[in-house]
Amino acid sequence: MSQTTAHQLKFGRRGFLKGTSALALAALPGIASLSRAQAAQQKLVVMVYLKGGNDGYNTLAPVTNARYRRLRPNLAQSREQVLMLNQTHGLHRSLDALLPLWQDNQLAILQGIGQQDVTNQHYRDAETLFTASRPDEFLVEGWMTRALNQNGQLKRSNIDVVAFGDLDIREADPMGPFRGGNAAVGVVNMLYPKEWQARHRVAETAHLTTTKAGEAAKTFTLDSPSTLKTTFPGDSFGAALQSTVELVAAGSAPPVVHITLNAEDGDQHNAFDTHWTQLKFHGPVLERLAKGLAAFRRGMQEIGWWDNTLVFTYDEFGRSPKENAEGGTHHGWSSVHFAMGGRVNGGLIGEAMPVVDVFQIDGPPPVIDYRALYTTVIEHWWGGSANGVFAKRFKPLPLLRT
């Protein structure tokens, strides 16, 4: 690979612990308050990629909408099938593990979020998503690469990002939102989370790394992960989330962890890319999402880090309001996503997606641009600057409590 090197590497935690020891001391009672850079480095971001494009209309279902029921005669959720959040909309019942977060005002639901323009093709729309660009732009760097480079206080001397699961379909630079950071951003991507969870040695996992992370990664192992009381689901998503808690507990977590949620067999059509038999696949993958994130919250609370953690989900596009002849939904436009954490200002953000009668592909444009979410992460969560990260200015969302 020309820009990203595949290695059989061994991790060691010395480099991480050296960088975090001062932070641990600063957090103790009686120690001077953290500097801005130290405070930023104590803020973890967990990005959860719902690969293939989640169906927002059945995730947060407009159960009282007659057009929704007409356009989805087989797929529409009824009031009895959902968890009603207000008079008109309810969460898919498979997401019930997230209800405690909702009740604690630590879950925000982003309605109508997406890209301003989409082609409804995975490859191109994933490119614009990862680079936070327009369809007529072809940027090299991912948006998170630019954010980390712009805000150097967030970066580590070696590894800035740990990723679990596949990031991108490109071969030359398969780093998703961390593209183009081969020399400037250190990324270690472990393709199969259960391999890492079983061995805690990257040398014994299938993985990719950018050049910056390569040498540091050779010395990294997690020899004695914390024994957690929290029980995690036994799938790959659960393994990735448990591994994240263990890395944080060991003082070895970088500022960003990226997790891709896909079908266990690797076929995104058996998860979120619901072109056919959606009733068979969509509920189970939403259940995996909810149970995994609920366990992650308990795990981070157990180690005292939930207030320092921000989790958000995203995808390349949503699904059409209209079901197709194969019992599924084709590519759409705007979608529904989640943000959660101990400092999240829970509730509904944005506007409910209108149910429009369009072709079996496409849908209504978003009311929340993804770049507004990204700006919120950079500026309101990390306390950095998004100036220059995007082509224009985006107003942060009212996502976090002060």
137-164 per-position pLDDT tens digit: 889 999 999 999 999 999 988 999 999 9
223: which 2 tokens? 């020899």
What is the CA angle 209-253-19, rounded to 5? 100
Q: What is the pLDDT of residue 6?
A: 39
* Tokens 């005292």 found at: 304
- Distance (Å) of CA 119 to CA 49, 122, 129, 354: 19, 8, 12, 20
Q: Quick one: what percent of the chain has pLDDT higher than 70?
A: 90
Mean pLDDT score of the chain: 89
Per-residue pLDDT tens over the stretch 338-387: 999 999 999 999 999 999 998 888 899 999 999 999 999 999 999 999 99
Averaged pLDDT, 15-30: 34
Q: Examine the pLDDT at 251 and tell me if it is beyond 70.
A: yes
Tracing tokens 């978003």 back to the chain, one arrives at: 366
Residue 41: pLDDT band (50, 70, 90) is low
Using the predicted structure, report yes or no on whether residue 4 has a pLDDT greater than 50.
no
Q: What is the pLDDT of residue 137?
A: 87
pLDDT greater than 70 at residue 13: no
pLDDT at 18: 34
Position 361 scores a pLDDT of 87
Pairing relation of β-strands 335-340 and 309-314?
antiparallel
**pLDDT class of 14 with cuts at 50, 70, 90:** very low
CA neighbor of 378 nearest in space, from 146, 177, 156: 146
